[in-house]
C-alpha cells in the first residue's frame, strides 16, 4: 500500500521564504491576523487530515468505487465519515467570506491545502472542490436572496455544488446546449434536459446538492450568446431552509471510468425541475466561467498532487529495491546488488518528477497570492495587474500541470518495473487518476487555444507583455552576479525565445489563423517551462542566501535540483520552438480523405 507525507517543509519554504507571502498578504485588508504561526499550524493540521484520514481511503475507495442503485449513489466505505470529519474541522470554509460562515483566510492557504488533498485522495477532493467553485460563481453573480438562502450551507459543507455544462451531443462547444428553461409564474424556471459527466451529481455525503445548470430560454439567441445559468437544487428548501420536496432532478446512471472511481460521475436528468436564474439572461456562460476558471486551477493542482505522492513512493522503492550493480563500481558490498537509486536513468525519472513538482508548487502559490491581490489590494492598478497574471497563467497551470502530472506518475510507475503495473503497490492508480485531469474542465488543447487565441490578444497583448516585463526586470536585476549565471543565463535565453515566438505567432496568424491552433500546445509548453525556469532561478537565489548556515541539506538540494532543471529539462524548448515555427501547412495540407 502506498504512503503519503505532506510536504510541509517545502510549502513553508515557498510561502514564507520564496514569496515572502506573510508580508504581502498581511498587508491586505482583512488579513492582518494571518501570522506565520497560523499558516504553519493550518498546514500541519491539514497535512495530518490528509495523511491520517483521507489517504488511507484512497486505494480502498478506488477498488470499491461508487455504487448506483435506484437512482441513488453510495460512496465507498469510510467516505461519509471522513467527509463529516472534514467539514466539522472547517476545512471547506478556509477562504470563504466570514459573512457566510467562512473563515476569511487567504486563497493562498486554500491552494496549499488543495495540493495535499489531491495527493492524499483526489477522488475525495473533488466533492468539496466543486462546491468551492459553485460558491465562487454564486458569490459573484447570484441575487442576494439566493446567496442568503444557499451559500451558508454550501460554505459549511452540508450542501454541495456541481457544474452542469456537458450534454450527450456537445462538450467543448457549449453553443450546442439544448437544455431548456421555461419561465414559471412565480419567477422561477422549469429546467428540462440531460447533462453528462457531472462530477458529484449524486452522492450520499451531503444533505442537498445544488446544481448550476446551463440552459436556454425560449427565445434565446443561437450559440453561446443564448445560454443562461440557473441554480437547481436536488431538493427544494422548506420554510426552515432544510432540504424538502424532491425537485425534478434525478441521476440516470454513473460512469464506469479509468480512474477517480470514488468520485461519482453522473448522467443527470432535469424534468421540469424548478430553477432560479443566476446573473443576467443569456449571460450564463460568462457567469459559469467564474466557476470554470477556479476549477481549472484546481484541476492543475491534481497534476501536482499526484506527481508528489507518486514521487514519494517511487523514491522509497528506489532506495530499497536491489537491482544490478552501479556502472562505477559496487555501492552496497554487503548486499547482493545495489539499490535502484544508484542508476542514472532511475535518477533521471525521479529528478524530472521532483523538479517539475517543486517548480509547480512555487508557481501555484505565486498565482494564489495574485488571486488574493486581485481581490483585496486597495489600489485598482495593482488589482488589475494581479488579475492579468492569474488570467494568463490559468491555462498554463491547468494544461501543463496535468500534462506533466500524467507524464511523471508514469515515470514513477516505471521506477517500479513490473511491480508498478500491479494494483497492490498503488502506482497504477496514480497513473489512472492523473489521466482525467488532461481532459475535463476543458481539454488541454482547449487550454492552449485559450492562451494563444485569447490571452495573447487581450488589450493588444497586455497580459503577455506585462508578464514578459516582469521576467525582463528579474533577469536585468541579477545579470551582473556571476554566481547566479548558471540560473539566470538559461532563463534569459528562454525568455528571449518565448518573446520572439510570441511575436512570430501573432504576426503569422494575421495571414493564416490556423497558425495559432497548430502552434498552441507546443507554445504553451514553452511558456510553462520558461515560467518554471523563473521559479527555479528565484528558488536558487533564495537557497543561496541560506545554504551556508543549513545543516539539513535542504537548500543544497534545492540548488542541485535547480541546476538539473536548467540543464536537463529547460532545453526542451529549443525543439518545441522548431515545431512551432514549422507552421500549420504541415498539418493542414492533408486532405480529409488521407486520414
The catalytic site residues sit at 441
Q: 253, 267 in Cβ contact below 8 A?
A: yes
> Cα 166 to the chain's mean position, in Å?
19
- Chain mean position to CA 280: 28
Give me the phi and psi of 271, to 5 degrees please: -120, 90
Closest to 304 measured CA to CA, from 262, 367, 347? 367
d(CA 229, CA 210): 13
- Torsional class of 57: left (φ above 0), alpha (ψ -120 to 50), beta (otherwise): alpha
Are 280 and 91 in contact, with CB atoms under 8 Å apart?
no
Q: How far apart are CA 56 and CA 262, in angstroms?
A: 13
Closest to 14 in 3D by CA, of 304, 531, 362: 362
Helix or strand holding residue 73 (H, E): strand 72-74
Provide the grid cell at 118. Answer: 489531491
37 alpha-carbon distance from chain centroid: 27
What is 460-492 written as a DSSP string? GTHHHHHHHHHHHHHHHHHTT-GGGHHHHHHHH
- Distance, in Å, from the CA atom of 575 to the CA atom of 220, rounded to the nearest integer, reads 47
Q: Which residue(s) pair with 193 in the sheet?
A: 270
For 228-285, the DSSP string reads EEEEEESEEE-TTSSEEEEPSEEEEEE---SS-TTS-EEEEEEEEEEEEEESSTT-HH
Q: Which residue, 360, 384, 351, 380, is CA-closest to 370?
A: 384
Give the helix/strand (H/E) hosting 136. Answer: helix 107-141
Centre a 10 Å sphere on the Cβ of residue 548 and count the other Cβ atoms it contains. Answer: 7
φ/ψ of residue 323, rounded to 5: -160, 105
Helices then strands (H, E): number in the chain? 18, 11
Give the 3-state secondary structure of 390-443.
HHHHHHHHHHHHHHHHHHHHHHHHHHCHHHHHCHHHCHHHHHHHHHHHHCCCCC
Q: How far apart are CA 469 and CA 296, in angstroms?
A: 26
Residue at grid coordinates 450551507: 153
Q: Does residue 44 sit in helix, strand or coil? A: helix
The 8-class DSSP code of residue 14 comes to I
Nine-digit cell string for 549:
548556515
Amino acid at each position: 500500500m502506498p504512503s503519503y507525507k505532506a510536504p510541509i517543509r517545502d510549502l513553508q519554504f515557498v510561502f514564507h521564504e520564496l514569496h515572502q507571502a506573510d508580508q504581502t498578504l498581511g498587508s491586505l485588508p482583512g488579513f492582518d491576523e494571518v501570522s506565520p504561526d497560523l499558516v504553519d499550524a493550518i498546514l500541519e493540521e491539514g497535512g495530518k487530515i490528509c495523511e491520517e484520514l483521507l489517504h488511507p481511503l484512497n486505494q480502498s475507495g478506488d477498488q470499491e468505487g461508487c455504487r448506483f442503485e435506484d437512482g441513488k449513489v453510495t460512496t465507498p466505505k469510510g467516505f461519509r465519515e471522513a467527509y463529516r470529519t472534514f467539514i466539522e474541522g472547517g476545512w471547506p470554509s478556509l477562504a470563504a467570506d466570514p459573512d457566510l460562515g467562512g473563515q476569511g483566510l487567504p486563497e493562498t492557504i486554500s491552494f496549499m491545502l488543495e495540493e495535499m488533498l489531491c495527493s492524499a485522495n483526489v477522488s475525495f477532493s473533488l466533492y468539496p472542490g466543486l462546491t468551492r467553485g459553485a460558491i465562487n460563481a454564486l458569490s459573484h453573480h447570484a441575487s442576494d436572496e439566493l446567496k442568503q438562502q444557499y451559500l451558508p450551507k454550501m460554505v459549511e459543507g452540508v450542501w454541495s455544488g456541481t457544474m452542469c455544462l456537458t450534454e450527450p451531443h456537445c462538450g467543448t462547444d457549449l453553443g450546442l446546449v439544448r437544455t431548456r428553461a421555461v419561465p414559471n409564474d412565480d419567477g422561477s424556471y422549469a429546467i428540462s434536459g440531460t447533462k453528462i459527466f457531472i462530477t458529484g451529481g449524486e452522492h450520499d455525503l451531503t444533505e442537498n446538492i445544488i446544481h448550476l445548470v446551463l440552459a436556454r430560454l425560449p427565445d434565446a439567441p443561437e450559440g453561446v450568446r443564448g445560454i443562461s445559468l440557473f441554480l437547481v437544487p436536488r431538493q427544494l428548501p422548506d420554510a426552515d431552509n432544510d432540504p424538502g420536496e424532491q425537485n425534478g432532478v434525478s441521476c440516470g446512471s454513473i460512469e464506469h471510468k479509468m480512474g477517480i472511481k470514488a468520485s461519482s460521475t453522473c448522467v443527470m436528468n432535469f424534468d421540469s425541475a424548478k430553477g432560479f436564474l443566476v446573473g443576467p439572461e443569456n449571460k450564463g456562460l460568462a457567469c459559469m466561467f467564474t466557476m470554470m476558471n477556479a476549477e481549472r486551477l484546481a484541476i492543475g493542482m491534481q497534476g501536482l498532487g499526484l506527481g508528489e505522492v507518486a514521487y514519494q513512493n517511487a523514491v522509497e522503492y528506489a532506495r530499497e529495491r536491489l537491482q544490478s550493480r552501479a556502472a562505477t563500481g559496487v555501492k552496497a558490498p554487503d548486499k547482493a546488488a545495489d539499490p535502484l537509486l544508484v542508476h542514472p536513468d532511475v535518477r533521471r525519472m525521479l529528478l524530472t518528477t521532483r523538479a517539475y513538482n517543486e517548480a509547480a508548487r512555487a508557481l501555484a502559490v505565486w498565482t494564489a497570492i495574485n488571486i488574493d491581490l486581485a481581490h483585496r489590494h486597495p489600489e485598482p492598478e495593482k488589482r488589475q495587474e494581479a488579475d492579468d497574471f492569474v488570467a494568463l497563467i490559468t491555462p498554463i497551470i491547468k494544461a501543463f500541470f496535468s500534462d506533466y502530472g500524467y507524464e511523471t506518475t508514469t515515470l514513477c510507475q516505471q521506477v517500479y518495473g513490473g511491480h508498478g503495473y500491479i494494483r497492490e503497490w498503488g502506482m497504477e492508480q496514480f497513473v489512472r487518476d492523473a489521466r482525467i485531469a488532461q481532459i475535463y474542465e476543458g481539454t488541454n488543447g482547449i487550454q492552449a487555444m485559450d492562451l494563444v487565441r485569447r490571452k495573447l490578444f487581450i488589450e493588444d497583448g497586455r497580459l503577455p507583455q506585462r508578464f514578459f516585463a516582469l521576467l525582463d526586470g528579474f533577469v536585468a536585476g541579477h545579470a551582473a552576479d556571476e554566481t547566479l549565471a548558471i540560473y539566470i543565463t538559461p532563463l534569459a535565453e528562454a525568455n528571449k525565445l518565448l518573446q520572439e515566438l510570441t511575436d512570430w505567432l501573432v504576426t503569422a496568424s494575421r495571414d493564416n489563423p490556423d497558425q495559432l491552433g497548430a502552434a498552441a500546445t507546443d507554445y504553451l509548453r514553452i511558456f510553462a517551462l520558461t515560467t518554471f525556469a523563473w521559479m527555479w532561478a528565484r528558488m536558487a537565489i533564495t537557497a543561496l542566501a541560506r545554504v551556508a548556515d543549513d545543516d539539513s541539506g535542504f537548500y543544497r538540494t534545492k540548488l542541485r535540483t535547480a541546476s538539473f532543471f536548467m540543464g536537463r529539462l529547460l532545453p526542451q524548448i529549443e525543439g518545441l520552438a522548431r515545431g512551432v515555427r514549422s507552421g500549420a501547412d504541415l498539418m493542414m495540407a492533408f486532405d480529409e480523405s488521407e486520414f
